[in-house]
Structure 1
Amino acid sequence: MKNTNNINTNNNTKLILLHPYILKQGNSNRLWLLAFLSFFTVAFLLTLIYTRDSSSTSSSSAAAAAVVPTTPAQQQQPLPATVINTLLHYASRSNDTYKMSYAELKPIADVLRKCSPPCNLLVFGLTHETLLWKALNHNGRTVFIDENRYYAAYYEQQHPEIDAYDVQYTTKTSEIKDLIKTARDQVKNECRPVQNLLFSDCKLGLNDLPNHVYEVDWDVIMVDGPRGDWADAPGRIQPIFTAGVLARSKKGGNGKTHIFVHDFRKGLERKCGDEFLCKENLVEASDLLGHYVVERMDESSFQFCRNKTSTTSS
């Protein structure tokens, strides 16, 4: 019995001695595991940060290498003549019913080519030639105005490089005589030839364009809209009048503005052109295109044309 007790005692003693050791060994393993995980986590984070910085540096270096520095002179280089002729060739050969012919496109392209970049071009009407005007006015500023707000938004969506705005015309072609008479009666007030149309109440002037349109010194203005084929159509009296005022109110540049009026053979376009752009400023004309060069005027001027002639009775 004693031996058995001794054995049991010895066994109990061994258990008492081994139990704390086992616990200590388990805690040590946990500490090593925790240390290993911490080291691995820190190493992973450092690697991630280093990789990210290296990628950013590589991307920046690649982007910097891809961008070729250009001088102001290079940025203002006009399109080569061969490119211009190619654009005119394909634009005039389109099957679009309302396209301009080569004979109509060429005078406008010549003026844009000679216009020192950056050239400011304002176009009334989104037409078949819209992308052509944007391309020909390379490195210049080109703004389009159209009466159809949905088409203007659609065109900008399809061609993000196009800067287009919509405008609400308030005239009718059937009112042409009354509108010209109103402008003559108010030529020293609301409808004077030199003014900021943004603050004008003249019925013929467009005063709801974006503000910056009135601040730009336009070198070339193209009137190719809106439509005027029926009595209730808005016609082009408002853009023609507006073009005349913008040209005469010009603050900078060379003091001259080239104004092109398309569909010139129609009575309304030519009549309004003679009234507000003036015959003495007509430098070139064909059945479909009128080309005026209108000079800046003094603010005290209250007459559109030097040689005033009656168009109301014609």
Structure 2
Amino acid sequence: MKRDDHLRDRQIPADGRGLSLIAIAGLIAGVILISGLVKSGDNSNSLLCSIAKSRSQPINGFSDMETQLRALVHYATSKITPQQNYGEISVTFDVLKKRNPCNFLVFGLGYDSLMWDALNPQGKTLFIEEDQKWVDIVLKGAPNLRAYAVKYRTQLKEAGALLNHYRKEPSCFPSNAYLRGNDRCRLALTGFPDEFYDTDWDLIMIDAPRGYFPEAPGRMAAIFSAAVMARNRNGSSVTHVFLHDVDRKVEKLFATEFLCKKYLVKSVGRLWHFEIPPADKTTSHDGPRFC
């Protein structure tokens, strides 16, 4: 189903595959149970809070329950494991339990997409993918997912040059940085769908684009843009950013530069979890550094 050049980034080793799939199916089954309890009960302090923010209409004709059941069947019968292991998935799941329903942005569309959508019942989950053909394949089997194909302006081999560029380009500086239409800053994600820019994202998962060969887009711009969105969001809530594959040099380097070690709250396997607050509007940030 998946094209070969995505397999390296988007699967985990087969060891313990059965246990991982059973655990994931169990997570989804638990969400289904909890969702049912919330919808039938009136406890204002329940696990899935803020029901007033929930969807009033199904997305693309599919209800939350149908999405969850589709995901449960998918993982119960699948021979392919997601790209993250159970421990790494649990880090994001624990936040989703507390923040649901929420706005969840996921860089990457893969074998775990049904799971992420199912774990955010009544919330908005949006997937960003670099390959239109792959988006078409996935949506054919899972038409309830919200996904867009986009184009990146970067290549992995440019990582060092991009760091030097941002330190000299004022439109990349923390006090000036924005995304939509920011063509001067090469790390800003431009030309994306309006929904990408117009939503305050509560959670951002960076598990794409590809970043394991020189001509790949790399995750430099996704990491930078996640930092900009977190700093520029409305309100006082933190933005939870989850970065996968931190064992790789570029992911670790750009996370340290833009997401900031002081905001790192958890590390499990190859996943880092950051809680990034909005920028302090009363403090001047005229320099080029985010951290």
Q: Compute the TM-score of the two structures, normalised by the length of structure 1.
A: 0.65
1:96 aligns with 2:117: no
| Cα deviation 1:197-236 (Å, max 9, x = unaligned) | 1121210111111112111110000000011111111111
Structure with the largest fraction of helix:
1
Query: 2: CA distance between counterparts of 1:129 and 1:231?
Result: 25
| Equivalent residue in structure 2 for 1:255, among 214, 217, 237 | 237
1:125 aligns with 2:112: no
SS for the counterpart of 1:270 is: helix
Rg larger in 1 or in 2? 1
* Structure with larger RCO (C-alpha < 8 A, sep 6+): 2
The residue that corresponds to 1:270 in the other structure is 252
- Cα deviation for residue 264 of structure 1 reads 1.1
User: 1:139 corresponds to which letter in structure 2?
Assistant: Q
Q: What are the equivalent positions in structure 2 for 1:196-207 lying under 5 Å apart?
A: 196-201=178-183, 202-207=185-190
Gap change, CA 1:91 and 1:185, over 3 Å in 2: farther
Query: 2: CA distance between counterparts of 1:172 and 1:213?
Result: 21
Contact kept? 2:171, 2:182, Cα under 8 Å: no
Contact kept? 1:225, 1:236, Cα under 8 Å: yes
Contact kept? 1:278, 1:305, Cα under 8 Å: no
The residue that corresponds to 1:228 in the other structure is 211
SS for the counterpart of 2:261 is: helix
Gap change, CA 1:102 and 1:208, over 3 Å in 2: same
1:107 aligns with 2:91: yes
Contact kept? 1:277, 1:304, Cα under 8 Å: no
The residue that corresponds to 1:285 in the other structure is 267
Contact kept? 2:166, 2:288, Cα under 8 Å: no
Query: 1: CA distance between counterparts of 2:274 and 2:40?
Result: 39
Which blocks of at least 5 consecutive residues in structure 1 are unaligned? 1-67, 309-314
* Number of residues of Structure 1 aligned to a counterpart in Structure 2: 232
| Equivalent residue in structure 1 for 2:155, among 164, 169, 172 | 172
SS for the counterpart of 1:164 is: strand
SS for the counterpart of 1:217 is: coil
| Equivalent residue in structure 2 for 1:239, among 196, 199, 222 | 222
Contact kept? 2:227, 2:259, Cα under 8 Å: yes
Contact kept? 1:174, 1:232, Cα under 8 Å: yes
Q: Compute the TM-score of the two structures, normalised by the length of structure 2.
A: 0.70
The residue that corresponds to 1:185 in the other structure is 168
Q: % of aligned pairs identical?
A: 35
- Aligned-pair RMSD on alpha carbons? 3.3
Gap change, CA 1:228 and 1:276, over 3 Å in 2: same
| Cα deviation 1:236-294 (Å, max 9, x = unaligned) | 10111111111111013x43100000111111111110011011111112341011111
Gap change, CA 1:107 and 1:225, over 3 Å in 2: same
Query: 2: CA distance between counterparts of 1:105 and 1:91?
Result: 14
Query: 1: CA distance between counterparts of 2:191 and 2:81?
Result: 31
Contact kept? 1:281, 1:293, Cα under 8 Å: yes
